């Protein structure tokens, strides 16, 4: 080897050995924890852009859900485009979900273990439970009589036994949970393939539900829980997936009608005109949209002329998008959806 090159190589080797020693002794670099977003939401004026020929969204007694790509799905019971309407993140009308019924009182968009998103919803009038692609293809149809007749309740007016299914959600293992919120207040559990598994809940102790209007799977806990709104008596409640009553999350709310979980937050839409955010311990951390006008809240008859940006009238469905923005759909003869952007 060239005698002039050897000292240079030795020096380089020594430097590399020193650098390696320093890096090894210092350990892995610390990763800074992400800064949590502030608990602030700002209403977006005139977010929804109705398509040509539609003066109003349509009669709404349904729900709202957001797909991974940010598209917003809204269920409508009446109007020119009843069923499920789809809008993009900027509020532009995209399409109607072909074949979607107009009696989805409550529905969710759930990503299955195959990575595909599906619409799950029980039909309020017909009583069957549907799983559909986002394009409307029915891939699972659980008939109403899959729920044992012993759990059907006789309607005081019609004198006929029936069910009035108001909401659903899907557990991480694919099991489907349905609430009979306008009849028995029972929760029915099905397997991912639609096999009936169990029934629990109801109006008797320890549950004492009074219109178990909507439910969600609360993934903030391990194992996950069911969180639900007992509307008439103002409660948010927790149950295990096996039906054990775990207690009240919150009480004395303004007839809570809808709820959604994201990260450590639970957003609750109250049909008497407010949205409340609860933390994992059930503490109130934020309230928005409060309406002080008693004649405007809890009714589907409040006219568009009386609507005010960011002030809600009768929240009936709530959903987050991936950025934490909140969408509130209302019980309304005209159809209304309110968007709040979350602060960065």
Give 19's pLDDT tier (boundaries 50, 70, 90): very low
CA-based nearest residue to 164, from 144, 192, 146, 190: 144
For residue 12, being part of any structural domain is answered with no
Share of the chain above pLDDT 70, in %: 90
This prediction has a pTM of 0.89
Residues whose CB is less than 8 angstroms from the CB of residue 255 and which lie 6 or more positions away in sequence, other chains included: 231, 232, 234, 270, 271, 272, 298
We report the CATH number of the domain holding residue 193 as 2.120.10.30
Block residue for tokens 């809240």: 297
For residue 11, being part of any structural domain is answered with no
For residue 294, being part of any structural domain is answered with yes
The domain tally of the chain equals 1
Cα angle 240, 241, 244; round to 5: 40
pLDDT in tens, 90-134: 999 999 999 999 999 999 999 999 999 999 999 999 999 999 999
Give 29's pLDDT tier (boundaries 50, 70, 90): low
Sign of the dihedral defined by the CA atoms of residues 302, 307, 313, 318, in that order: positive
pLDDT score of 253? 98
Give a three-class secondary structure readout of 110-164. Answer: EECCCCCEEEEEEECCCCCEEEEECCCCEEEEECHHHCCHHHCEECCCCCCEECC
pLDDT score of 119? 98
For residue 226, being part of any structural domain is answered with yes
pLDDT in tens, 229-288: 999 999 999 999 999 999 999 999 999 999 999 999 999 999 999 999 999 999 999 999
Residue 3: how many CB atoms within 10 A of its CB?
A: 6
Find the domain containing 69 and state its range: 39-342
Lowest-confidence region among 21-30, 151-160, 202-211: 21-30
| Distance from chain centroid for Cα 292 | 26
Residues whose CB is less than 8 angstroms from the CB of residue 125 and which lie 6 or more positions away in sequence, other chains included: 103
């Amino acid at each position: 080897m060239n005698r002039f090159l050897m000292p240079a190589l030795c020096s380089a080797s020594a430097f590399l050995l020193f650098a390696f020693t320093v890096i090894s002794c210092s350990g892995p670099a610390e990763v800074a924890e992400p800064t949590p977003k502030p608990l602030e939401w700002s209403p977006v004026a005139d977010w929804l852009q109705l398509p040509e020929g539609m003066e109003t969204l349509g009669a709404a007694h349904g729900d709202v859900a957001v797909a991974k790509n940010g598209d917003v799905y809204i269920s409508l019971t009446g109007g020119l485009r009843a069923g499920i309407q789809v809008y993009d993140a900027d509020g532009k009308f995209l399409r109607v979900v072909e074949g979607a019924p107009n009696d989805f009182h409550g529905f969710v968009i759930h990503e299955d273990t195959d990575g595909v998103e599906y619409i799950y919803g029980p039909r309020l009038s017909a009583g069957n439970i549907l799983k559909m692609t986002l394009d409307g293809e029915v891939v699972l149809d659980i008939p109403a009589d899959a729920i044992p007749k012993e759990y059907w309740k006789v309607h005081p007016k019609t004198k006929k036994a029936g069910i009035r299914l108001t909401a659903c959600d899907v557990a991480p293992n694919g099991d489907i949970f349905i609430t009979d919120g306008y009849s028995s207040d029972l929760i029915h559990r099905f397997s991912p393939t639609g096999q009936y598994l169990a029934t629990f809940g109801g109006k008797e102790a320890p549950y004492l539900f009074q219109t178990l209007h909507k439910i969600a799977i609360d993934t903030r806990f391990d194992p996950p829980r069911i969180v639900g709104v007992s509307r008439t008596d103002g409660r948010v409640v927790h149950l295990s997936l096996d039906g054990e009553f775990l207690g009240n999350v919150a009480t004395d709310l303004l007839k809570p009608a809808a709820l959604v979980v994201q990260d450590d937050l639970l957003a609750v839409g109250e049909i008497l005109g407010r949205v409340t955010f609860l933390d994992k311990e059930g503490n109130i951390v934020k309230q928005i949209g409060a309406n002080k006008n008693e004649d405007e809240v809890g009714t589907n008859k409040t006219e568009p002329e009386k609507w005010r940006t960011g002030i809600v009238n009768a929240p009936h469905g709530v959903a987050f998008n991936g950025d934490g923005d909140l969408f509130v759909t209302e019980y309304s003869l005209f159809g209304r959806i309110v968007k709040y952007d979350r602060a960065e």
